[in-house]
Amino acid sequence: MTDFIFSWFRSSVLQILIIVGPVLLVALVLGIIISILQVLTQIHDPSVAFVPKFLVIMLLVLFFGGTVVNVMVRFFNGVVSAWQTLP
């Protein structure tokens, strides 16, 4: 029983990283690029950094939301089917 719980916990952390990792990586790279541009142009308005990151993240969620839902449903189905086989 505890092996199943630890395995499930490890799998859930991995699924979280798979789902959230690409979005966070894109936001990080975009934030660095925008910060460099702000330093070069000496424009230090917070909305200059927020708006592009917000729009790009929303586009990522829009385009890859279906894939994320499929990954989550597949993981949930695997957990439920494994849970039914426990003694």
* pLDDT (tens digit per residue) in 55-66: 999 999 899 888
For residue 87, what pLDDT is reported?
66
Give the predicted TM-score (pTM) of the model. 0.72
Asked whether residue 15 is assigned to any structural domain, the reply reads no
For residue 80, what pLDDT is reported?
86
Which residues span the domain enclosing 58? 25-73
Please, which pLDDT band fits residue 47 given cuts at 50, 70 and 90?
confident
If you compute the radius of gyration of the chain from its CA atoms, what whole number of angstroms results? 19
Asked whether residue 19 is assigned to any structural domain, the reply reads no
Total domains in the fold of the chain: 1
For residue 49, what pLDDT is reported?
84
For residue 73, what pLDDT is reported?
92
Asked whether residue 69 is assigned to any structural domain, the reply reads yes
Spell out the residues 6+ positions from residue 73 whose beta carbon is closer than 8 angstroms to its own. none
